[in-house]
């Protein structure tokens, strides 16, 4: 099935790219949507099955795959609206759609890959497709964003590759040369620690570019800023999850070795620095999209804290990723409507949104509550569990520091969001404000409610899957 999926997806990509006809494009899009959903359902059905030898549908993969599909269908829908509204040239339209389809495909493949090299290949593909999306507007800034993103990602990919080489070196002592995670787990006790150390360091550093952590988070911010909002939604939700999978699967291997503690320290450093950076810029930026991007960085920092803290933290981290994906994508979708009202990305020129589009404003409000993990939202549960994990691991000072930083972040976030929602902008003439169709916000409500529901009252199976996905770490 995976084969069919990949083949079909590639075919669709090529077809979209090839033809310039609007109708056919949309049809193909719908086809892909169907394909994606069918594929997801199939993967759920053959749980723990392996296709083509390299794709295993394990619980983590399935969880993220479902999240991706749930996010990507609205993403396609919103992209459709977006493209139509900007009456693009057929060429740029087809490039855009082809790229987004390719992005989704490669991300899903990367989720399921059970071999570190395969993950790596699909990571490269995501860079390719993402760069096309970022460059969609074809102006100087977009070009700059693309250039930086591509370059940073290329370097990071190289890092990952070097990491893989070191890994193979550390493996070469054991006589086997199979880099699949299963084998690594099996051989974990014989791996050469020196090479393993370097391997983890490089692989971690490399994947931070996708995951959005210090040190390589930098280009990601520009990318999310420059890409069209629906694409930005994918970049800041599913793509980050992919980066997480890249690190996490290898971390599970490390966790079996004496290097576990060292790896935790590295992750701690990176995570805390990320939250700090997020704090610095959340209080600084006026560009709404960049603000969202930095808040994603903050959340990823929290997630990695959960991983490093261990215990219940693993569970919390995965949960947090999924919920964050839902919430953040809905925020990005909402941004489009916001932009249509005010024609500006800057907080300074945006305000009193409640008056012009109450439905969207309420989305923004709920999304804000969720993104800051205030209690009624689902992320509160995961964040609470992460804090609990930190407490349990006796990282009290880390916890206090993080709480302090988070408070500052919430303050900054609240200031901007409520400015957007309530404070009228001086000299903004609302004569030609477009009437936003409230039904467009439906998907966003759905995503947000899903986030709340999964957080507060998760179904048994969901909890089981998450437990299953971190079972290897419970040592």
- For residues 49-108, which are near other proteins according to CB under 8 A? none
Instruction: Please give the Cα distance from 238 to 126 (Å, whole number).
Output: 11
Query: Shortest approach of other proteins to residue 168 CB, angstroms?
Result: 5
- For residues 351-390, which are near other proteins according to CB under 8 A? 352, 354-355, 358, 369, 372, 374-376, 380-381, 384-385, 387-388
- For residues 271-290, which are near other proteins according to CB under 8 A? 276-277, 279-281, 283-285, 287, 290
Query: Shortest approach of other proteins to residue 74 CB, angstroms?
Result: 25
Binds other proteins by CB under 8 A, chosen from 18, 30, 182, 411? 411
Query: Shortest approach of other proteins to residue 30 CB, angstroms?
Result: 30
- For residues 114-143, which are near other proteins according to CB under 8 A? 117, 120-121, 124, 127-128, 131, 135, 140-141, 143
Query: Shortest approach of other proteins to residue 208 CB, angstroms?
Result: 8
77 versus 384: smaller Cβ distance to other proteins: 384
Binds other proteins by CB under 8 A, chosen from 48, 144, 190, 261? 144
Query: Shortest approach of other proteins to residue 1 CB, angstroms?
Result: 25
- For residues 17-56, which are near other proteins according to CB under 8 A? none
75 versus 373: smaller Cβ distance to other proteins: 373
32 versus 55: smaller Cβ distance to other proteins: 55
Number of residues in contact with other proteins, rule: CB under 8 A?
101
Instruction: Please give the Cα distance from 317 to 164 (Å, whole number).
Output: 25
19 versus 287: smaller Cβ distance to other proteins: 287
- Give the number of other CB atoms < 10 A from CB of residue 163: 24
Binding mask 208-237 for other proteins (x = CB under 8 A): ------xxx-xx-xx--xx-----------
Instruction: Please give the Cα distance from 335 to 288 (Å, whole number).
Output: 8
86 versus 419: smaller Cβ distance to other proteins: 419
Collect all residues with Cβ–Cβ distance below 8 Å to 283 and sequence separation of at least 6. Answer: 408, 409, 411, 412
Contact status, residue 239 vs residue 104, Cβ threshold 8 Å: no
334 is a site residue for other proteins (CB under 8 A): no
100 versus 421: smaller Cβ distance to other proteins: 421
32 versus 281: smaller Cβ distance to other proteins: 281
- For residues 291-320, which are near other proteins according to CB under 8 A? none
- For residues 230-269, which are near other proteins according to CB under 8 A? 262, 266, 269
Binding mask 161-190 for other proteins (x = CB under 8 A): xx-xx--xx--xx---x-x-----------
Query: Shortest approach of other proteins to residue 296 CB, angstroms?
Result: 14
Query: Shortest approach of other proteins to residue 266 CB, angstroms?
Result: 6
Instruction: Please give the Cα distance from 12 to 31 (Å, whole number).
Output: 8
Binds other proteins by CB under 8 A, chosen from 84, 423, 437, 474? 423
């Amino acid at each position: 099935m995976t084969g069919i999926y990949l083949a079909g997806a590639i075919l669709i990509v090529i077809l979209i790219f090839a033809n310039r006809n609007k109708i056919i494009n949309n049809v193909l899009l719908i086809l892909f949507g169907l394909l994606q959903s069918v594929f997801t359902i199939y993967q759920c059905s053959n749980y723990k099955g392996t296709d083509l030898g390299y794709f295993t549908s394990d619980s983590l993969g399935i969880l993220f795959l479902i999240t991706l599909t749930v996010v990507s269908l609205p993403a396609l829908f919103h992209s459709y609206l977006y493209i139509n509204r900007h009456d693009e040239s057929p060429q740029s339209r087809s490039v855009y759609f082809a790229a987004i389809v390719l992005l989704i495909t490669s991300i899903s493949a990367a989720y399921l890959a059970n071999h570190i090299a395969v993950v790596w290949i699909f990571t490269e593909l995501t860079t390719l497709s993402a760069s096309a999306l970022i460059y969609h507007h074809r102006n100087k800034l977009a070009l700059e964003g693309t250039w930086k993103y591509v370059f940073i990602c290329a370097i990071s990919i190289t890092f990952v590759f070097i990491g893989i080489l070191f890994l193979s070196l550390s493996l070469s002592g054991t006589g086997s040369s199979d880099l699949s995670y299963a084998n690594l787990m099996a051989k974990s006790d014989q791996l050469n620690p020196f090479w393993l150390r370097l391997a983890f360091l490089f692989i971690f550093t490399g994947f931070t570019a996708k995951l959005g952590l210090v040190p390589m988070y930098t280009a990601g911010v520009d990318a999310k800023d420059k890409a069209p909002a629906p694409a930005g939604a994918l970049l800041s939700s599913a793509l980050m999850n992919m980066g997480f999978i890249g690190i996490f699967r290898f971390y599970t291997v490390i966790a079996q070795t004496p290097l576990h503690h060292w790896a935790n320290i590295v992750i701690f450093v990176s995570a805390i620095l990320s939250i700090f950076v997020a704090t610095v810029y959340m209080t600084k930026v006026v560009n709404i999209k960049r603000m969202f991007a930095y808040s994603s960085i903050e959340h990823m920092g929290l997630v990695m804290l959960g991983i490093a803290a261990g215990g219940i933290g693993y569970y919390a981290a995965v949960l947090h990723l999924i919920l964050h994906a839902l919430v953040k994508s809905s925020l990005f979708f909402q941004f489009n409507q916001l932009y249509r009202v005010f024609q500006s990305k800057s907080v300074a020129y945006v305000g009193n949104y409640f008056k012009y589009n109450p439905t969207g404003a309420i989305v923004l409000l709920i999304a804000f509550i969720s993104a800051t993990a205030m209690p009624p939202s689902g992320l509160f549960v995961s964040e609470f569990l992460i804090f609990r994990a930190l407490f349990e691991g006796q990282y009290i000072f880390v916890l206090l520091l993080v709480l302090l930083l988070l408070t500052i972040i919430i303050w900054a976030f609240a200031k901007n969001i409520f400015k957007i929602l309530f404070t009228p902008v001086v000299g903004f003439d609302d004569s030609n404000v477009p009437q936003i169709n409230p039904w467009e916000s439906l998907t966003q409500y759905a995503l947000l409610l899903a986030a709340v529901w999964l957080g507060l009252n998760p179904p048994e199976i969901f909890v089981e899957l998450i437990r299953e996905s971190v079972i290897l770490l419970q040592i």
